[in-house]
Structure 1
């Protein structure tokens, strides 16, 4: 059983190392963000997403801490 766990862990680690979320660079196009370059749409909601994350953390902390009593 321990050998299977080690094998699964090694395969998972290998799969994680092989996965690359960024597409390859198409070539010599600058690609930098500067004046006139379109910004990522998520940039507009960074503060809202941060506040939602804090609310989720507070909610689940309160929920699970009250269940232990």
Structure 2
């Protein structure tokens, strides 16, 4: 019974996530439709390397903190 419940729950979440869309496609044909500059770049694109370095530092910090506590 536990396996069936896990499968049903997993299938429900899979289909729920598959149906949710973060943005709508306004022009599925692919053309720009004008002479504009196109879609603006995401502001986070400028900081990908810095955010990656900070993430690695956090991982190291918390790994050493947990190792010192001997959990």
- Residue in structure 1 matched with residue 70 of structure 2 by the alignment: 68
Deviation larger for 38-47 or 55-64: 38-47
Q: Over the residues paired in the alignment, what is the CA RMSD in angstroms?
A: 2.5
Following the alignment from structure 1 to structure 2, what is the Cα–Cα distance between the partners of residues 47 and 4?
A: 41
- Residue in structure 2 matched with residue 20 of structure 1 by the alignment: 21
Following the alignment from structure 1 to structure 2, what is the Cα–Cα distance between the partners of residues 67 and 22?
A: 44
Unaligned runs of 5+ in 1: none
Question: Could you tell me how far 1:10 is from its partner in structure 2?
Answer: 1.5
Question: Could you tell me how far 1:18 is from its partner in structure 2?
Answer: 2.1
Matched residues, number: 64
TM-score with structure 2 setting the length? 0.62
Deviation larger for 5-14 or 36-45: 36-45
Q: Structure 1 residue runs of 4+, over 4 Å off?
A: none
Unaligned runs of 5+ in 2: none
